[in-house]
């Protein structure tokens, strides 16, 4: 219940007052409020509930809620913010083809400068889609960290660890390079230590062993030990492809989660992405370990597969919704999850609107271990929220229901975003980054990426046209 002692008295000064025609708090005591408001001091919510009326607050700044809905910002518990370079390059392919033949063979051709520009693009895309927190794993965490801090995006970030030649995996050739794993682990540890001392507190680090087929048992064990020493969690991919599962079965005679469980590297601080091809044995072991699950419902249907989300829910594995690659529309993700689970189970109530919204907010925050900070608009939590424009034809007439958001809202409806009490998107304008310049830089790089595609894959590019030409 709301602690009334924490609510300021009449005439209280606050830094920011955000009003709403409809307020979705996602708290247990005040879930939906017609004519609501959120009062913020510094980075903290001091009140969230029914509007107090004129004169109660003395805000330094007010965001009008006329024609607006307010809800917690989305928490994206598994992302690759800089992956936009692969947009349209693998969407029609199978999952293994996209991963092993396109991504792994492409990534080493991309420069540090280009990764940094892609990170900036990814941060803009996240904020515009209503995401206020990400959990990311990629090649250049420093660039993403700098972009996140500049824009005001909350982020947990891990350097991708591996000790194989990724570019050879498309041919199912697994060549271990121990020095590669050692060097990447050292870089990953350095990154975590650097941002543990960050003044903003927005960016923190994780340790990120990439997957069960790209990291040796030794690297998994060393990564887990370093994570424990640093007091941070692990972030990894598990059972994301048939090739990964087949590798684990042929090499270790175990499923991917079984392999990790036997190494004793799974715990409640482990975030496991995908589980697309996880067996019942895998899921049972994940349940026992209390590891958390990042579900990415937009990418699975594109690959013609879908994880056993119903089985995962039945086992009470803590689950959040994530985007994975460049698919940054949380509303689309929620709908994909609801539709898929209902179709696969034959039950219309298998995943409700409220279930899906919670999974994308407080559920994902719980996966990341920060549910006491973000994920709902409760008094005392960090002020992470978004404002949606309800004056859109696809949202009218608007009824104050969870289904109004889950079925009909779009990322493009997000017009304002507040993260850690800071306004980062206002009137559809990104405040902390030069968006036009970022887009121009991406266009500048495009010819290099197209030529690289020709060299790498040995075939003509899918398209030689871009809007910059």
Asked if residue 17 and residue 94 are part of one domain, the reply reads no
- Say how far apart CA 133 and CA 136 lie, in whole Å: 10
Q: Which of 320, 341, 367 is the last residue of a domain?
A: 367
Helix (H) or strand (E) holding 274: strand 270-274
Asked if residue 300 and residue 152 are part of one domain, the reply reads yes
Q: Which DSSP letter does residue 160 get?
A: E
CB 75 within 8 A of CB 30: no
The helix/strand/coil state of 302 is helix
Residue 169 lies in a domain: yes
pLDDT for the residue numbered 63: 97
Beta strands in 95-205 (DSSP E): 131-138, 154-161, 203-205
How much helix, strand and coil, in percent to the nearest 5, is found in the chain? 40, 25, 35
Name residue 418's beta-bridge partners.
385, 423
- Say how far apart CA 468 and CA 51 lie, in whole Å: 48
Asked if residue 56 and residue 166 are part of one domain, the reply reads no
Q: 381-398 in b/e burial notation, b at 16+ Cβ within 10 A?
A: bbbbbbbbbbeeeebeeb
* Listed residue (422, 433, 427) closest to 126, CA to CA: 433
Q: Which of 367, 387, 410 is the last residue of a domain?
A: 367
Asked if residue 89 and residue 30 are part of one domain, the reply reads no
The helix/strand/coil state of 23 is strand
CATH code (residue 43): 2.30.40.10
The helix/strand/coil state of 112 is helix
Asked if residue 358 and residue 309 are part of one domain, the reply reads yes
- Say how far apart CA 107 and CA 85 lie, in whole Å: 9
Name residue 184's beta-bridge partners.
none
Asked if residue 317 and residue 251 are part of one domain, the reply reads yes
Q: How many CB atoms lie within 10 A of CB 452?
A: 18
Residue 435 lies in a domain: no
N residues, the chain: 469
Q: Which DSSP letter does residue 50 get?
A: E
Contacts of 410 (CB under 8 A, 6+ apart): 329, 331, 332, 392, 394
Q: Is the dihedral of CA 417, 422, 426, 431 positive or negative?
A: negative
Asked if residue 150 and residue 55 are part of one domain, the reply reads no
- Say how far apart CA 416 and CA 438 lie, in whole Å: 20
Q: How many CB atoms lie within 10 A of CB 97?
A: 16
pLDDT for the residue numbered 328: 82
CB 246 within 8 A of CB 100: no
Asked if residue 18 and residue 93 are part of one domain, the reply reads no
Residue 44 lies in a domain: yes
Asked if residue 136 and residue 256 are part of one domain, the reply reads yes
Q: For 167-218, give the DSSP string.
A: GGGGGT---B-HHHHHHHHHHHHHHHHHHHT-SS-SEEE-BEE-BTTTS-HH
Residue 438 lies in a domain: no
The helix/strand/coil state of 55 is coil
Q: Please give the model's pTM, rounded to 2 decimal places.
A: 0.92
Segments forming the whole domain that contains residue 48:
4-72+379-430
Helices (H), 140-177: 141-151
CATH code (residue 233): 3.20.20.140
* Listed residue (333, 331, 258) closest to 301, CA to CA: 333
- HEC profile of 208-231: EECECCCCCHHHHHHHHHHHHHHC
Asked if residue 340 and residue 306 are part of one domain, the reply reads yes
Asked if residue 60 and residue 93 are part of one domain, the reply reads no
Q: For 397-446, give the DSSP string.
A: S--SSHHHHHHH--GGGEEEEEETTEEEEETTEESSS-HHHHHHHHHHHH
Domain count, the chain: 2
pLDDT for the residue numbered 458: 43
Q: How many CB atoms lie within 10 A of CB 3?
A: 9
Asked if residue 337 and residue 241 are part of one domain, the reply reads yes
Residue 440 lies in a domain: no
Q: What is the pLDDT along the chain (469 residues), one digit of tens a residue?
A: 444 445 666 679 999 999 999 999 999 888 899 999 999 999 999 999 999 988 899 999 999 999 999 999 999 999 999 988 888 776 666 656 677 777 787 787 888 999 999 999 999 999 999 999 999 999 899 999 999 999 999 999 999 999 999 888 888 899 999 999 999 999 999 999 999 977 788 999 999 999 999 999 999 999 999 999 999 999 999 999 999 999 999 999 999 999 999 999 999 999 999 999 999 999 999 999 999 999 999 988 888 899 999 999 999 999 999 999 877 899 999 999 999 999 999 998 899 999 999 999 999 999 999 999 999 999 999 999 999 999 999 999 999 999 999 999 999 999 999 999 999 999 989 999 999 999 999 999 888 776 655 545 544 334 333 333 3
Estimate to the nearest angstrom the gap between the alpha carbon of 78 and the chain centroid: 4
- Say how far apart CA 361 and CA 350 lie, in whole Å: 19
Residue 400 lies in a domain: yes
Residue 83 lies in a domain: yes
CB 297 within 8 A of CB 321: yes
Residue 437 lies in a domain: no
Q: Which of 327, 345, 367 is the last residue of a domain?
A: 367
């Amino acid at each position: 219940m709301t602690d009334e002692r924490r609510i300021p008295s009449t005439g209280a000064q606050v830094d920011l007052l955000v009003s709403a025609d409809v307020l979705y708090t996602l708290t247990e005591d005040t879930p939906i409020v017609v004519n609501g408001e959120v009062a913020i001091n510094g980075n903290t919510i001091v009140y969230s509930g029914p509007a107090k009326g004129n004169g109660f607050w003395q805000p330094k700044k007010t965001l009008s809620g006329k024609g607006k809905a307010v809800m917690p910002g989305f928490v994206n518990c598994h992302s690759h913010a800089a992956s936009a370079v692969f947009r349209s390059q693998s969407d029609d392919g199978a999952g293994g083809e996209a991963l092993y033949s396109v991504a792994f063979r492409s990534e080493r051709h991309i420069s540090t400068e280009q990764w940094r520009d892609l990170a900036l693009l990814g941060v803009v895309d996240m904020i515009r889609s209503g995401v206020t927190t990400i959990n990311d794993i990629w090649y250049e965490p420093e660039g993403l960290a700098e972009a996140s801090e500049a824009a005001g995006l909350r982020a947990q970030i891990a350097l991708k660890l591996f000790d194989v030649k990724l570019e050879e995996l498309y041919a199912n050739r697994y060549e271990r390079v121990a020095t590669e794993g050692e060097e990447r682990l050292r870089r990953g540890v350095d990154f975590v230590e650097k941002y543990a001392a960050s003044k903003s507190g927005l960016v923190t680090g994780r340790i990120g062993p990439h997957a069960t087929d790209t990291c040796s048992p030794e690297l998994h064990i060393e990564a887990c030990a370093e994570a424990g020493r640093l007091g941070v969690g692990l972030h990894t991919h598990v059972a994301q492809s048939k090739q990964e599962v087949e590798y684990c079965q042929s090499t270790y005679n175990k499923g991917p989660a079984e392999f990790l469980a036997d190494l004793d590297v799974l715990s409640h601080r482990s975030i496991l992405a995908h589980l697309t091809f996880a067996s019942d044995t895998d899921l049972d072991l994940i349940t026992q370990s209390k590891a958390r699950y990042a579900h990415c419902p937009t990418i699975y249907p594109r690959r013609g597969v879908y994880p056993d989300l119903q089985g995962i829910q039945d086992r009470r594995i803590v689950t959040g919704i994530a985007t994975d690659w460049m698919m940054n529309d949380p509303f689309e993700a929620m709908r994909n999850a609801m539709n898929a689970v209902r179709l696969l189970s034959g039950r219309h109530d298998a995943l409700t609107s409220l279930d899906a919204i919670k999974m994308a907010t407080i559920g994902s925050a719980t996966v990341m271990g920060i549910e006491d900070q973000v994920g709902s608009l409760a008094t005392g939590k960090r002020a992470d929220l978004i404002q949606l424009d309800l004056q859109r034809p696809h949202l009218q007439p608007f009824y104050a229901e969870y289904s109004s958001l889950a079925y009909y809202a779009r990322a493009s409806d997000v017009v304002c975003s507040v993260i850690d009490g800071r306004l980062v998107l206002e009137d559809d304008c990104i405040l902390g980054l030069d968006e036009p310049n970022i887009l121009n830089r991406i266009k500048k790089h495009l010819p290099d990426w197209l030529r690289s595609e020709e060299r790498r894959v040995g075939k003509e590019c899918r398209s030689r046209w871009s809007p910059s030409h």
